[in-house]
Amino acid sequence: MTLQDHNRVIGIMHIVWGAFNGLIMLLLVPFFLIFVGIIGSDPKAPAGLEVLFGLLGLFFLILALVIAVPSFIAGYAMLKRKSWAKIAGIISACLCALNFPFGTALCVYTLWFVLGEGQNIYGALGAARGDYAPRLPPDWRG
* pLDDT at residue number 48: 86
In sequence order, the 6+-apart residues with CB closer than 8 A to the CB of 65 are 25
* Contact (CB, 8 A) for 77 and 85: yes
Instruction: Determine the 3-state secondary structure of 100 from DSSP.
Output: coil
Query: What number is the average pLDDT over the span 64-87?
Result: 92
Q: Encode pLDDT of 13-50 as tens digits.
A: 999 999 998 898 888 888 888 888 888 888 888 878 88
In sequence order, the 6+-apart residues with CB closer than 8 A to the CB of 36 are 50, 53, 54, 57
Q: What is the dihedral of CA 99, 100, 101, 107, to 10 degrees?
A: 60
Give the HSE-up count for residue 26: Cα atoms under 13 Å, Cβ half-sphere: 7
Q: Encode pLDDT of 89-136 as tens digits.
A: 999 999 999 888 999 999 999 999 999 888 778 765 545 554 444 455
* pLDDT at residue number 134: 47
Question: ∠ at Cα 70 (10, 95), nearest 5°?
Answer: 85
Does a cis peptide bond (omega within 30 degrees of 0) precede residue 137? no
